[in-house]
Amino acid sequence: MVMEKNVARAEAPESEDPTAAAEAAVEVPPEIVAQTLGQWFQAWMARIRAGDSGVLPVILGLVIITFVFEGISPHQVFLSATNLVNLFQQSAVFMVLAMGVIFALLLGQIDLSIGFVGATGAAIAVQLVQPATTKWPWWAAIAAALLVCALIGAIQGTLIARLRPD
């Protein structure tokens, strides 16, 4: 395979302690050890040709979608500052939830309840600020919703830690 000859190896230092762990060979991607931009680009292209495209298809898809929407929007307003601000404002809540999901995934856990807990918190906050029923101040409703969501998370975390469903 092409990538094997391009991979640099770093050896762990030898230890005189017989109980020490065996030497570990660490594979370092060639882009990290590249000395020039040309070497980095060549290593990156070799990785792409070998089939390890990473996030490149996602980025290319987003660029294509952006150009398509810009082309079909009347008066080419899709990439205007007003529209981009509007898109970011509408997606801010989902971005915050996505950051929370990333933490769970980085820890190796699959947490399917994030949508449920987020929706529960939103429903509680909306119900508490209704003028016909309780009419809480908005800041108290948000605090109560966060408290309920934290309680649900604590219960779930306790169950996972105690029962170990792995």
Q: What is the pLDDT of residue 53?
A: 82
Q: What is the pLDDT of residue 1?
A: 44
Q: What is the pLDDT of residue 114?
A: 82
Q: Full-prediction pTM beyond 0.85?
A: no
Contact assessment for residue 3 and residue 47, using Cβ atoms and an 8 Å cutoff:
yes
Does residue 29 sit in helix, strand or coil? coil
Amino acid at 132: A
* Mean pLDDT of successive 10-residue stretches along the chain, which has 166 residues: 50 59 69 85 86 86 94 90 93 87 81 86 94 88 96 91 79
Most distant pair of Cα atoms in the chain: their distance:
76
Cα–Cα dist 85/77, whole Å: 12
Cα–Cα dist 54/63, whole Å: 16
Contact assessment for residue 93 and residue 129, using Cβ atoms and an 8 Å cutoff:
no
DSSP state, residue 73:
S
Cα–Cα dist 75/50, whole Å: 42
Cα–Cα dist 121/142, whole Å: 8
What burial letters (b/e) apply to 113-130, b meaning 16+ CB within 10 Å? eeeebbeebeebbeebbe
Cα–Cα dist 59/84, whole Å: 18
Q: Are strands 8-11 and 25-28 parallel, antiparallel or unpaired?
A: antiparallel
Q: What is the pLDDT of residue 157?
A: 87
Q: What is the pLDDT of residue 115?
A: 84
